[in-house]
Structure 1
Amino acid sequence: MTDSVKDALRKAAMFCAYQERTQQEVRDRLKDWSVLGDDAEEVIAELIQQNYLNEERFATAFAGGKFRVKGWGRRKIKQHLQQRGISGYNLEQAMKEIAPDDYRGTLTDLLAKKRQTLRDSNPLVIKQKLVRYALSKGYEPDLIFAVLGEE
């Protein structure tokens, strides 16, 4: 391993230690540092071996965080993970991070908070705005209508 690759490995390890990263994010950062081709792949392989880089861990942390902190739905989380190059097994594990009871409860709470902010006398307009809001957060239409139907 050359000195430049060792230096890139050290910098990439610090980059990964700060927060969970995907392989693609590390590749992009290595490219910014002019570490390309086999050298970049060698650094990534070493980071995986040293457990600095773990896409399953990234996916579960990302899904759990976006759900708990931002109130995102499964569809939006899945879409963002796929944009980051996460698929298959890791994507499934991330979706398991969200408990079904918590999921429905979070949607109910989001809709209740949003309803407080809406000022309209027409209940159909309010329902339409709530549905649009929940869809933008990434929740499934059938679940949205089920939760709105309970109220």
Structure 2
Amino acid sequence: MSSDHRSRPAGGGGDRGIRILLADDHPEVRIALKQMLSKWADFEVVGEARDGREAVEECRRLLPDVVIMDVSMPEMNGIEATWRISECCPDVGVLGLSMYDSEPMLRRMMERAGARAFVVKSAPASVIRETVRSVARSGSE
């Protein structure tokens, strides 16, 4: 692990907002999430990824506070990508995202891969907003 991972402020500390990377294989979902998140001044979408492999690469490059990670993606699924991000960028919080409210999927994302939270795509905007804030705060504690 390089020193920049350890010294990077996490959780939107200081005057900057919460930096977010969106990882979903559907462009429409990324667009909708970006539009929703842009409504809050303390959120900044700093990057997007179309698959798990790209999510890991972009996470290493951008060092966001939070990655909103779709579970089902090509190339590398969100569970594998989350595990890799947890290993290479432990200060980055991952919020698992899925169309399905599945207890086994939630356990795989959180217990095995290291996601800090999990929400379904159909969750109200207020739930997603507060979960992103919670994930960002958990990285700065």
TM-score normalised by structure 1 residue count: 0.24
Q: Which one has the largest radius of gyration?
A: 1
Greater relative CO (CA pairs within 8 A, separation 6+)? 2
